[in-house]
Amino acid sequence: MKAMVVSPVGGRVPPTRGVIHSSLGINGTRRDLEAEEVAAYLTKLRSLVPDMPRKRKLSKLEVIQRVIEYICDLQTTLEETNIHQDTVKATTRQPLQPLLNAPTSTSSPAAVAER
């Protein structure tokens, strides 16, 4: 049984296929691993974005474009929500103001003395 390495995106990827001492072999293996890692990240992005078509395969560029659009939509929604909440807070909250020339309560000593 081969050992598996946990991927940063939650899946499992096979370990390095063996250390090859020639520079071409190491670079080729490194490129293969990078390509596998990029593919794993793209798969994770596809699963996170709800509007991603599931029936047809998208190019890497299409996935990235749709992710960027989704992030922009989320940002716009968040900003609109914050503006709405700020507006609601501003209209419902009334600042405290001192009562000027307000009648005193009936239990004050001055009111009791006048009776």
Residues comprising the chain, all counted: 115
- Cβ–Cβ < 8 Å for 13, 4: yes
* Cα 95-100-104 angle, rounded to 5 deg: 115
pLDDT at 75: 96
Least confident of 28-32, 69-73, 105-109: 105-109
pTM listed for this prediction: 0.52
pLDDT at 57 over 60: yes
Q: What is the 3-state secondary structure (H, E, C) of 42-106?
A: HHHHHHHCCCCCCCCCCCHHHHHHHHHHHHHHHHHHHHHHHHHHHHHHHHHCCCCCCCCCCCCCC
| Two structure tokens written together for 95 | 């600042």
Kindly report the average pLDDT of the chain as a whole number. Answer: 76
